[in-house]
Amino acid sequence: MSAKKEQLNVTIYTPQHKIRGQLHLIQNSRLSDILNTESMSRDFLPITGASITDLRSDVTVQAAFISVNKRMIEMVVEEHDPAIAS
């Protein structure tokens, strides 16, 4: 049995990358809940439809799925327009 999930369109900034895509959350949870959870099983955030831009070279690559280490995140912006995070 799998948990129902919701998707948030987000832009995530790390020291070297800007990542746009859909973050998968357990239904009725909040972005802040996921970011503040201290758990080995939740050290990485699942992102689908990812667009990853290298901030040094401005090169962008696409990936169907990535996991982002929460310890590398400097900022997360929730995008309300689905076209922004695609």
pLDDT tens column, 11-58: 999 999 999 999 987 766 777 777 776 655 578 889 999 999 999 999
Question: In this structure, is residue 24 part of a structural domain?
Answer: yes
Please report, for residues 10, 28, 34, 83, the alpha-carbon distance to residue 43 in angstroms, rounded to integers and kept in the order given: 17, 20, 9, 28
Is this structure's pTM higher than 0.75?
Answer: yes
Range(s) of the domain holding residue 36: 5-79
Is residue 59 situated within a structural domain? yes
Over range 58-68, report the average pLDDT.
97
Residue 85 inside a domain? The answer is: no
Does some domain include residue 86?
Answer: no
Q: Which residues of 52-79 are buried (b: 16+ CB within 10 A; e: fewer)?
A: bbeeeeeeeeeeeebebebeeeeebeeb
pLDDT at 42: 72
How many separate domains does the chain show?
1
Higher pLDDT, residue 74 or 5: 74
